[in-house]
């Protein structure tokens, strides 16, 4: 566990200001990644309620006395390093403030329905007139064009529509068979990461030309794109792949096996590794003409897998790991999250953080996996309380205390 305090290190994106007008996961994930990289990220939230995920619990963070706060674990997962400003953009005064903030920002992230912000004079074309260098990233379920542009898209629906659930889950006819969603919102998360890449590319382009641009990110596009090799299996063979449980469509053996005391993953990636496995396991399967090459093993999957299942049951999980890991045969236990965070390798990489928090004293978090030698990730603040930085940020626009109180009375902030 790594304790983190205010850092004097300069992040790679120091000097970049991001106006994060998104909520839930894809947009906030993008904003958090930019904050980790050193950008100043201002999160605009609805007065009174804030980001939808603030209410997505339990579990909720507990304060210093052990009582539940209103800070959900879900919200805490995607909003580290941001400043929270409450702003009601349905009111003209709120729209004016949002435009002033956008005019002083390098990047704007939003995930309203396609074209929705135009109603508030906050659409891309409207803001481009005010700030030609603005990088404006729109994240929606289905994109800014096409017949479904106005349809709301949630991760679960996207996993279903994009085909991911058709290849995820146990084989039909087996216990638990049928389509399954991935255990985390992978469409949201991958869209957030693709959006970050696009924003960085747009900032690089602006550095050379001075010109901003509109980025159109769709969860459906991203989810279909990241199906990767399974897409190509379909496009080449013209046959939709089927669910294979924990097996791999193009590699054998590459799946879960039962050991003597539990389960483990054996992931043999090439023929050399298969030969090493067979030698260590004391079998001669690699000498059988049906199994010498990976393509042979894939073609004879139904024959070789039962033979391997018998072999794998002869040793415990720990024995297999101790036997195969040193000789370079990929193998690993199936951990729950408690076991995953307890691993010495995970601890040595500093993946668990502790950040100062105004209610709880500290709040745990998970470090960004990016490790840079000159501009390391910055973890300067915990996910913010609702409206925690409203006065600070709006004060930078020249709004004095009296004006802030008036805006609060009107429900604008």
SS3 44: strand
SS3 43: strand
Residue 334: count other Cβ atoms within 10 Å of its Cβ. 12
Residue 397: count other Cβ atoms within 10 Å of its Cβ. 12
Residues 150 and 7 in one domain: yes
pLDDT at residue 380, rounded to an integer: 87
- Residue 237 falls inside a structural domain: no
pLDDT at residue 1, rounded to an integer: 60
pLDDT at residue 268, rounded to an integer: 97
Distances 361 to 61, 71, 354, 357, 358 between C-alpha atoms, Å: 11, 13, 10, 5, 6
- Residue 23 falls inside a structural domain: yes
> Among 297, 327, 342, where does a domain finish?
342
How many angstroms from the chain centroid is the CA of residue 11? 21
- Residue 379 falls inside a structural domain: yes
pLDDT at residue 176, rounded to an integer: 86
Residue 87: count other Cβ atoms within 10 Å of its Cβ. 25
Cis peptide before 59 (omega within 30 of 0): yes
Residue-range definition of the domain harbouring residue 130: 2-226+372-409
Number of domains in the chain: 2
- Residue 123 falls inside a structural domain: yes
Residues 156 and 283 in one domain: no
- The CATH number assigned to the domain holding 212 equals 3.40.50.10540
Handedness of CA 102, 76, 338, 373 (dihedral sign): positive
Residues 218 and 292 in one domain: no
188 is catalytic: yes
Residues 383 and 335 in one domain: no
d(CA 332, CA 343): 12
Q: Among residues 51, 106, 188, 221, which one is catalytic? A: 188
- Residue 366 falls inside a structural domain: no
Residues 156 and 16 in one domain: yes
d(CA 293, CA 284): 14
Residues 136 and 45 in one domain: yes
- Residue 142 falls inside a structural domain: yes
d(CA 319, CA 333): 11
86 and 45 Cβ atoms separated by less than 8 Å: yes
pLDDT at residue 9, rounded to an integer: 53
pLDDT means per 10 residues in the chain (413 residues)? Answer: 51 97 98 98 97 95 95 97 97 97 98 96 97 98 96 94 96 89 96 98 98 98 96 95 92 97 96 97 96 97 97 97 97 96 96 95 96 94 96 95 94 94
């Amino acid at each position: 566990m790594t304790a983190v305090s205010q850092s004097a290190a300069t992040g790679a994106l120091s000097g970049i200001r991001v106006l994060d007008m998104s909520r839930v996961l894809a947009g906030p994930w993008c904003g958090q990644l930019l904050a980790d990289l050193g950008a100043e990220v201002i999160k605009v939230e609805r007065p009174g309620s804030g980001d939808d995920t603030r209410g997505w619990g339990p579990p909720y963070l507990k304060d210093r006395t052990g009582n539940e706060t209103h800070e959900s674990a879900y919200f805490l997962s995607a909003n580290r390093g941001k400043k929270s400003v409450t702003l009601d953009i349905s009111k003209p005064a709120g729209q004016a403030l949002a435009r002033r903030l956008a005019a002083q920002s390098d990047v704007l992230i939003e995930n309203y329905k396609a074209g929705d912000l135009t109603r508030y004079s906050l659409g891309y074309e409207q803001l481009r007139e005010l700030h030609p260098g603005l990088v404006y990233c729109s994240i929606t379920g289905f994109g800014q064009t096409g017949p479904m542009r106005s349809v709301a898209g949630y991760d679960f629906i996207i996993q279903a529509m994009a085909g991911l659930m058709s290849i995820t889950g146990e084989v039909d006819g087996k216990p638990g068979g049928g389509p399954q969603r991935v255990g985390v919102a992978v469409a949201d998360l991958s869209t957030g990461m693709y959006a970050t890449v696009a924003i960085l590319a747009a900032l690089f382009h602006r550095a050379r030309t001075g010109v901003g641009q509109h980025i159109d990110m769709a969860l459906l596009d991203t989810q279909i794109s990241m199906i990767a090799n399974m897409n190509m299996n379909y496009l080449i063979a013209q046959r939709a792949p089927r669910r294979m449980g924990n097996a791999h469509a193009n590699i054998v053996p590459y799946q879960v096996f039962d050991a003597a005391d539990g389960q483990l993953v054996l992931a043999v990636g090439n023929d050399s590794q298969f030969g090493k496995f067979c030698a260590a396991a004391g079998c001669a399967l690699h000498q059988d003409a049906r199994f010498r090459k990976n393509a042979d093993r894939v073609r004879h999957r139904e024959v070789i897998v039962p033979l391997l299942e018998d072999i794998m049951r002869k040793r415990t999980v720990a024995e297999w790991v101790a036997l195969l890991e040193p000789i370079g045969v990929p193998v690993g236990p199936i951990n729950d999250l408690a076991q995953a965070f307890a691993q010495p390798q995970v601890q040595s990489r500093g993946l668990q953080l502790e950040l100062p928090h105004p209610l709880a004293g500290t709040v745990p978090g998970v470090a960004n996996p990016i490790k840079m030698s000159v501009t390391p990730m910055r973890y300067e603040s915990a996910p913010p309380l609702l409206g925690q930085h409203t006065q600070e940020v709006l004060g930078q626009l020249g709004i004095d205390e009296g004006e802030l109180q008036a805006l609060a009375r009107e429900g604008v902030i």
